[in-house]
Amino acid sequence: MSFLVNLSKTYFLLFSIFSSLPIAHASNTFTVGIAISKEKKPDGRGWPHLESFYESSIATIQKAVFRDFQGISRCRIVSHLATLDNRGRSQYTPRNDIDYLLHLVLRRADKLFRNRTIYFSDPNSAISLGVEDTQPGETLALPVFSAAIEVRLIDPKKRRILWSTLQDSTVSLPHSNNYVYNVDKYPGYTPSEVIRDYVAPILMQRFRSPSSLRMLQAADRWYISDEKGDAAAGGRLLAEIIRNILPQIDAQLPLVGNVVSELAPDGKNRPQYTINVGANQGIVIDLKLDVFSKRFRDTKVGELKVVSVEESTAVARLHKLDRSMQKSGGKVSVGDEVLSEKRPAYYSRRDLK
């Protein structure tokens, strides 16, 4: 009887200690606020035929984010408001219902040109020297659409950036082999009506943005894209950037699973467990996971280290048990939560399900 009383007192004491500790809660779901801003550019820049694209670019990004984020079931996403100050810092008002703020900043989305030089072979030189002698031929200015999006994952309560990255990409624009000669290098080669319809808009854009289109000066031929398809290509590029960057964002957000079974100890007699998250969720070998006891109000009790991974499950061994649990003879139990604060980025679309 005395033994039972002492055991009861011990359990009550342990429960009191754990109850008084701060709760490191490992919630299965959390809310991410989505804010999208555009870097302001000087007035008067931009292609006239892309004006509607410039105006709708933020809406295009927002649509892609809200569509693709549905694949991360543990996240609830809501619209948020954030702006950029004159130093490029995120400005926002914290909300109680937001766990993380994802601020996407559109740094660039425009039609540009990229130069490519083609080389001609001189057969006479190859015969006389015994090696192929090449000499520059022509430099071509090819139309492309280029975009860059900066991503900032923010703890809004602490006003601290947890992670950021810049994702940029470029896609070639179809041109159907239509081109005009550089009027500065080849004056008189181009008919006046072609200059009016095709060359003049390029020259005007080069005047407005000399730094981004300076390579036109060095090119021999300027290729002309279909203006009707430029905006569509730009929209697809923005959506593709969001798709490519989403796995990196997901890897920075907490992932919570559970211990579902206890296995036989490993060769060094260390306890092993099966958890219900695996490769599909970004779990990799040697990843360390925090463990939260369901018996003691979600208090952290130790760490597990992943030793093998399947698609939807993994095996992890005990890496560290908190001192209080060691003294009380406690252990990791089935039902305890495991938490990964962040993981390596993964890129399979299946992984987002």
Tell whether 131 and 244 lie within a shared domain. yes
Task: Name the least confident of 6-10, 81-85, 184-188.
Answer: 6-10
Name the DSSP class of 70.
G
Q: Quote the number of domains for the chain.
A: 2
For residues 193 and 232, give the distance between their C-alpha atoms in angstroms, rounded to a whole number: 27
Tell whether 86 and 130 lie within a shared domain. yes
If you write DSSP's letter for every residue of 276-342 in order, what string do you get?
S--GGGT--TT-EEEEEETTTTTEEEEEEEEEEE-SS-EEEEEEEE-HHHHHHT----TT-EEEES-
Q: Averaged over 87-103, what is the pLDDT?
A: 94
pLDDT at 243 > cutoff 50: yes
Question: Confidence band (pLDDT; 50, 70, 90) for 50?
Answer: very high
For residues 103 and 152, give the distance between their C-alpha atoms in angstroms, rounded to a whole number: 5
Q: What is the pLDDT of residue 211?
A: 67
Is the Cβ–Cβ distance between 337 and 292 less than 8 Å? yes
Give CA separation, 222 vs 116, 143, 152, 277, 344, in Å: 11, 8, 37, 53, 43
Tell whether 209 and 272 lie within a shared domain. no
Q: What is the pLDDT of residue 143?
A: 94
Q: Which two tokens stand for residue 122?
A: 């001189």
**Dihedral pair phi/psi, residue 250, rounded to 5°:** -60, -35
Tell whether 157 and 22 lie within a shared domain. no
Question: Confidence band (pLDDT; 50, 70, 90) for 212?
Answer: low
Q: What is the pLDDT of residue 118?
A: 85
Tell whether 226 and 112 lie within a shared domain. yes
Tell whether 51 and 157 lie within a shared domain. yes
Tell whether 307 and 198 lie within a shared domain. no
Task: Name the least confident of 44-48, 56-60, 339-343.
Answer: 44-48
Is the Cβ–Cβ distance between 37 and 218 less than 8 Å? no
Tell whether 189 and 262 lie within a shared domain. no
pLDDT at 126 > cutoff 80: no
Last residue of a domain, one of 252, 284, 307: 252
Mention every residue, 6+ apart, whose C-beta is less than 8 A from residue 351.
247, 279, 280, 281, 282
pLDDT at 177 > cutoff 80: yes
Q: What is the pLDDT of residue 110?
A: 94
Q: What is the pLDDT of residue 64?
A: 97
Question: Confidence band (pLDDT; 50, 70, 90) for 325?
Answer: confident
For residues 244 and 13, give the distance between their C-alpha atoms in angstroms, rounded to a whole number: 51
Tell whether 173 and 47 lie within a shared domain. yes
For residues 287 and 340, give the distance between their C-alpha atoms in angstroms, rounded to a whole number: 8
Last residue of a domain, one of 223, 252, 281: 252
pLDDT at 349 > cutoff 60: no
Q: What is the pLDDT of residues 256-294, one digit of tens each?
A: 999 999 999 999 999 999 999 998 888 999 999 999 987
Name the DSSP class of 9.
H
Q: What is the pLDDT of residue 148?
A: 97
Q: Which two tokens stand for residue 51?
A: 């004006």
* CATH number of the domain that residue 281 is part of: 2.40.10.340
Is the Cβ–Cβ distance between 301 and 310 less than 8 Å? no
Q: Averaged over 53-57, what is the pLDDT?
A: 95
Q: Averaged over 92-116, what is the pLDDT?
A: 94
Last residue of a domain, one of 252, 284, 314: 252
Q: Which domain holds residue 239?
A: 30-252
Number of Cβ atoms within 10 Å of the Cβ of 117:
12
Tell whether 164 and 47 lie within a shared domain. yes
Tell whether 248 and 259 lie within a shared domain. no
Tell whether 293 and 179 lie within a shared domain. no
pLDDT at 141 > cutoff 50: yes
Give CA separation, 309 vs 29, 30, 67, 277, 283, in Å: 23, 25, 29, 9, 7
pTM check: above 0.75:
yes
Percent pLDDT > 70 in the chain is: 82
> First vs last Cα of the chain: how many Å apart?
54
